[in-house]
Structure formats: structure tokens, C-alpha cells
Amino acid sequence: MTGTIILRIKLVGLAKNYRFGLFEFYYSFNQKKNMGLMSFLKGVGEKVFKKEEAATPAAEAEPLRASALLAHVKALGLTYKTIQVKTSGDKVTLEGEVEKQADAERIALAVGNVEGVSEVDNNMKVAESAPEATYYTVKSGDSLSKIAKEVYGDMKKYPQIFEANKPMLSDPDKIYPGQVLRIPKE
């Protein structure tokens, strides 16, 4: 706890020294943390795993879970050169290659927004480097326009969020609390 408070004081001091707002500094500081290990709410999301998998012994269930997640990625039509999905309980590890940063982010979100997944370790290699997006966890009462107002300052920019989360989102009104969304840079 003390380390967090000290770090926060240093961030406020840096923000003042360089004459930009704490939110802007915090926002850019967090950009480097986005890929890699991502957390999700385990009890919410798409139902991809079959009930038989829950009754299967753990050693036999992991390949079934990994296959189900890979099938989910393929069913969404997400783009990748190579992909390998590994599971260990509620943690998923992604490895492989994609052309664009957005592709790696969409795959991680598609896998993470599945009921029963609490963490995704995204180790996908990206051929075409680009800035990483940030992420937003939907809260009760949120809408894409409300989220756009919060992150962009303009509720009319909700189509940017919708497009960035296709094909996982089929309708701008079909979001749920606990869902993690990709928020692209403006």
C-alpha cells in the first residue's frame, strides 16, 4: 500500500513538473501495461465451454478448454497468422503471430470475455507495430455513448468503440457489466 501511495505522489509531482494533467500522464503511463497479462471477471461472458468439460478430470479438460477457445476465435473470424491457445484452470496463454496490434488485442478480448476465464497472458507477436489500445471494463448502467463521453469527451464517438470491438460486439446496445472493451486511440 505504501508503495502505491509513494508512486502516486511521484506521478502527481511529475505531472506538475511537466505541465500536463495527472489523467493524461496516468493514461500514457498505463499504455505500456496493456498487453501481456490481462484480468477478466471469471463469472461473466460468453458461454463457450460445454458442461461435460466441467465434469472431466483437470488433466483431460485443459486441451478441451483450449480447443473450445480456439474454435471461438475462429468462429468470430479473427485474423492471425499462427495461434496457440493453452489453458491452466481459469488462465489462458496465447502465443503466435498476428499482422496488426489490433488483431492481437481482439483475440485476447475474445478469449478473455468468456465465462470461466479470469486471466489472459497475451504473448502474440505483432508484425506491424502500432500503439496499444486501452481497455475499459463495463459497469452496470454503461452504454457505448456513455463510455465514449468518459474516455473521449464526446458521446457521439461511440461508433469508434463499437468498430474496435467487432466482431465480439454485434450490436452497440449489447454490452454487459464485467465485459472488457478495447478503447482505440482517437
* Main-chain phi, psi angles of 88, to 5 degrees: -145, 95
Whole-number Å distance between alpha carbons of 101 and 99:
7
pLDDT tens digit string along 15-59? 444 433 333 333 333 333 336 799 998 888 889 988 766 566 777
The pTM of this model reads 0.75
The count of C-alpha atoms lying within 13 angstroms of the C-alpha of 138, restricted to the half-sphere facing its C-beta, is 24
Cis bond upstream, residue 167 (ω within 30): yes
Domain annotation for the chain: domains and CATH numbers: 1-33 (no CATH), 35-128 (no CATH), 134-183 (3.10.350.10)
pLDDT tens digit string along 134-175? 999 999 999 999 999 999 999 999 999 999 999 999 999 999
